[in-house]
Amino acid sequence: MNWVKVMLVDDEVLAIEHMKNLISWQQLGYEIVCTANKPSQVVKLAREHRPDLIIMDIVMPGKDGLALSRELLAEGLVLKIVLLTSYKEFEYAKEALKLGVSNYWIKHEMDAEAVKRELGGLREEIESDKRLRKNDRGRLLIDWLGGRPLSDAQWRTATAEVGEAFDRLHLLVLEPARITPLLPGTAIGKPEWPTEWPDTGDSSLLAAIPFLESCFVLIYGDKSSRGEGKMRELLEEKAVEARRTIEQLTGRSASMAMAYGLPNRADVPAKLAEALKWLSQAIFYAPSHLFRLNELPRAEENAPIHLEWEEGLAKTKELLPGHQYEAAAREISALFARALAAKDAVGFADLCRQLVAVLNRYRSTCGLPSLAEAWADGPGTTADWTSLTGIRDWFLSELNALAEATSGLPAVSRKVRQALEQMERHYGDPELDADAIARQLGISRDHFRHLFKLETGQTALDRLTEIRMEKAKQLLEEGNLKVYEIADRVGFRNGQYFSQVFRKTTGMTPLEYMEKRR
């Protein structure tokens, strides 16, 4: 439960015990965290325990409740103060309200029911003040992490008045694994993102906030007297706990970046930017990788190299029609090895898209459904799509499944392969048909039709229509073109005829398909 923390202050010990036993504090959502019977103890205990509410006698020897209230409120050590008074201190109590003291209670009127009634209203006020203060802290922290310097006063507010107790800061950034959307139509939802970090009671945790809707930033305070080795060891332990927490909250593995022993709060925003750059390359590392920034070169010194994948992909494409699957697997593995060395996230995404397209085109020639259709019909999972090695292994497993599915089929001849390439490249040409392809191949129309049906199990017209419909689906899902524009893009002169063919192929009109995919 989110307890309201209470501190009781009275120079008479019996008065403190009476207040403690008057009601069941926990039933009302309160927890007495400390008591003081000497005014000299009050500020020190408040700094240590950070109570939300202090109930304090107004008249005490040495320093009265009014002077203590002024000091506590000036330092921001408490949200609410209630002073206990008697009739003869009535005017004195009213003066306290002007300083910001929340209320005063007349001692002889405060039986159990009266205290319960007052605490019920105070709890609502305290929770409201907590939310407002937390929002203020959050805005300051976001501005600071974004590069805006904080004054000392703002830093105290942002860290709930405890930041200045430390001379070293540790940074821990957590990001749930990013799932690469390899196949069109696969729903890659964002993980359920926590709005706040669970309260672990860790007094060194100065801040824990979601940042850029993709990661959580934790800031810890520490003392330089601990030594660098101990600071690193401490942050490693906290990283293990934090990963466990974020994985429980999001249901995904998480990569992390950490930096320890930062001597100045002004160093944190730049280090956070560096952490985000490393995390953007997390796909090239093992799942749940921890980037130790103190030991790594600056992210700018590890810039990605442009990934050259075109030649390797072309070789893979050439090997498939001849059923040379082992050689194709070696070529794919070599492509992924180059991607790992380059660490070019954009180039790697392009490689994956093109490799899916190559496999889909060949699957189609073999009369097999697309990878997306097979994935949707089977126990498809995106769990392996979070790292380069996982994605590579997924492609190799799909290649192995393709080898098994085509083990009884003859290899596709060069003429048929050229015909399929013509269809893939020029499907948007309304003049393209079986006769036009046969002329480009230099063979007779009848021989081409017989050869194509023999090797693929489809007529050339059926295959060309299938390609055009797949391209039309992609354009409809993108939602940027009107139906008649899509018809023109995929080789139909007449929009109405295109709609008829689309409905015959998919069982729905283009507009119905578009609405279903939204």
Average pLDDT over residues 57-67: 86
- Do 27 and 121 lie in one domain? The reply is yes
53-57 and 80-85 beta bridge pairing: parallel
- The residue range of the domain holding 118 is 4-132
Residues 9 and 80 in one domain: yes
Total domains present in the chain: 4
Q: What pLDDT sits at residue 300?
A: 63
More confident residue, 517 or 314: 314
Residue 47 identity = R
Residues 3-51: tens digit of each pLDDT? 899 999 999 999 999 999 999 999 999 999 999 999 999 999 998 888 9
| Sequence-distant contacts of 187-196: CB under 8 A, at least 24 apart | 188/382, 191/250, 191/251, 191/252, 192/249, 192/250, 192/251, 193/250, 194/249, 194/250
Helix H or strand E encompassing 76: none
CA distance 377 to 398: 14
Of the given ranges (130-139, 251-260, 428-437), which has the lowest mean pLDDT? 130-139
- Residue 274's pLDDT is 93
* pLDDT digits 0-9 by tens, 63-112: 888 889 888 888 777 888 998 887 656 666 667 677 778 788 888 888 99
Domain contains 362: yes
Say how far apart CA 266 and CA 230 lie, in whole Å: 23
Q: Are residues 220 and 259 in the same domain?
A: yes
- 40 and 74, same domain (yes or no): yes
Is 320 in the same domain as 275?
Answer: no
Instruction: Output the CA–CA distances (angstroms, integers) from residue 34 to 48, 108, 121, 245, 323, in the order listed.
Output: 10, 24, 22, 30, 77
Give the pLDDT confidence of 158-181 residue by residue, as tens digits. 887 788 889 999 999 999 888 888
Last residue of a domain, one of 255, 281, 297: 297
Digit-coded pLDDT (tens) for 272-314: 999 999 998 999 998 889 999 999 887 666 788 999 999 999 9
Chosen domain end from 297, 329, 348: 297
Q: Are residues 174 and 278 in the same domain?
A: yes
Helix-strand-coil split of the chain, %, nearest 5: 60, 10, 30
Helices then strands, counting H and E runs in the chain, come out as 20, 10
Report, as an integer, the average pLDDT of 344-369: 88
The average pLDDT across 146-165 equals 85
Residues 68 and 15 reside in one and the same domain: yes
Decide which of 132, 156, 187 is a domain's last residue.
132
Strands 168-176 and 254-262: antiparallel
Residue 225 — very low, low, confident or very high, per pLDDT cuts 50/70/90? very high
Nearest to 81 by CA among 99, 97, 106, 101: 101
For the cut 80, the answer to whether the pLDDT of residue 263 exceeds it is: yes
Phi, psi angles (nearest 5°) of residue 106? -85, 120
Strands 215-222 and 205-211: antiparallel
Give the model's pLDDT for residue 299: 63
Contact 388, 348 (CB under 8 A): yes
Q: Is the pLDDT of residue 149 over 80?
A: yes
**Rounded-to-integer distance, Cα 255 and Cα 276, Å:** 11
Computed over every residue of the chain, the mean pLDDT equals: 87
> Is residue 362 a contact partner of residue 321, using CB atoms and an 8 Å limit?
yes
Of the CA atoms within 13 Å of residue 177, those in its CB half-sphere come to 24
Residue 147 lies in a domain: no
Question: What pLDDT is recorded for position 49?
Answer: 87
Residue 186 scores a pLDDT above 80: no
Please indicate, yes or no, whether residues 406 and 416 belong to a single structural domain of this protein: no
Q: Is 148 a member of any domain?
A: no
What is residue 257's three-state secondary structure? strand
Cβ-contact 100, 74 below 8 angstroms: no
- Which are the contacts of 388, defined by CB distance < 8 A and separation ≥ 6? 283, 284, 336, 339, 340, 348
